[in-house]
Amino acid sequence: MDRVSSSGIDLHTRVGGSFCAIVCSDRPADTLQKIGAEEGCRLLFHFLNRDVIRRIVPRSIHMAGKLEGKIAVITGGNSGMGLATAKRFVAEGAKVVITGRRQTELDAAVKEIGPNATGVRGDVSNLADLDRLYEVVKEKHGRVDIVFANAGVGELVPIGQVTEAHFDKLFDTNVKGLLFTVQKALPLMPDGGSIILNASIASIKGTPAFGVYSATKAAVRSFARSWTSDLKDRKIRVNALSPGPIDTPIFDGLAPTKEGVDKIKEGFVSTIPLGRIGTSDEIAKVAVFLASDDSSFVTGVELFVDGGRAQV
């Protein structure tokens, strides 16, 4: 069993597979340190006698999260996976700057996430908007440790009906926007930062009418490989996170009616070994892994989070 500190009274235990430690001394900087799942700590408290807790737990209690003190930028943070990830990042101790084009949704998301969130309205395909985003980040935080380049759009259009407008919209947002989101973050990113690119299982699948979208996501996956090499001297890790079908508002744009949207979702379910589509929070938990030191030796990968859909 690991030991967190040897000063003062050390209490440590293993609860439900999670390692928790309470470290206490006479110093004013006493902290309660947590390693492992919050659930483990809750159980630990449950088992400890209240008097023991009063004696050993210092006045200032600090629950260290996996992203304590980190600054994260999340594009498309006002909805779906971006919003769920922003909430998880903040719960793990980070401060987040989220973006999106719709001001009302952005304001609502910032309110929902809480005081450690800042919203900057902007379109990722507009380079001046990205410059403004990073000006705010620089002014408010001075750096960015984690970028989750998540903003993206999807449309179902078969090859015969693809228009220039459809092509430009998807490539401008999903490819150009993602590239410059990352490029413009680099001057503010310290060595050892983490970049997470939201790709898709579409990067390796051949889904009808999803040709242009899939090509954008294949490009995103490719960026993770090239940028891992470009940024290796700075020890910046770049990974693609590739979700399978996830229940988010992006589906609403795939069919004109709710019935049509439901039919698309049902169609996906039958192709997923785990028998359901995923939730935004299931993506957020993996984003925390890729953002944090838990994935310190992981770079250049495409991590599929798809209930097995693209794996069988």
Give the interface segment with ligand NAP, choosing from 51-59, 121-129, 132-140, 226-234 (CB under 6 A). 121-129
3-state secondary structure of 243: strand
Cβ-proximal residues to 22 (8 Å cutoff; 6+ apart), any chain: 10, 11, 12, 32, 33, 44, 56, 57
- Nearer CB in complex with ligand NAP: 85/299: 85
What are φ and ψ of residue 242, in 5° steps?
-115, 100
Which residues, including other chains, have CB under 8 Å from residue 242's CB and lie 6 or more apart? 199, 200, 201, 203, 204, 217, 221, 302, 303, 304, 305, 306, 310
From 13-21, 61-69, 77-85, 221-229, span contacting ligand NAP (CB under 6 A): 77-85
Contact between 125 and ligand NAP by CB under 6 A: the answer reads yes
Sequence-distant (≥ 6) Cβ neighbours of residue 56 within 8 angstroms: 9, 11, 22, 24
Is there binding between residue 119 and ligand NAP (CB under 6 A)?
Answer: no
Give min distance, CB of 286 to ligand NAP, in A.
Answer: 12
The CB-of-212 to ligand NAP minimum distance in angstroms stands at: 12
Q: How many residues does the chain have?
A: 312
How far is residue 54 CA from its own chain's centroid?
A: 37
Q: CA-to-CA distance for 213 and 38, rounded, in angstroms?
A: 38
In the complex, the smallest distance separating the C-beta of residue 166 from ligand NAP, rounded to whole angstroms, is 14
Report if residue 156 touches ligand NAP, rule: CB under 6 A. no
Question: Which one among 250, 254, 255, 261 touches ligand NAP, defined by CB under 6 A?
Answer: 250
Q: Which of 134, 213, 223, 268 is catalytic?
A: 213
Q: Which is nearer to ligand NAP, 58 or 154 (CB)?
A: 154
Residue 57 zone, left/alpha/beta (φ > 0; ψ -120 to 50; rest): beta
Q: Is 211 in the site for ligand NAP (CB under 6 A)?
A: no
**Is 134 among the residues known to form the active site?**
no
Binding site for ligand NAP (CB under 6 A): 75-76, 78-82, 99-102, 105, 123-125, 150-154, 173, 177, 198, 200, 243, 245-246, 248-250
Which residues carry out catalysis?
Answer: 213
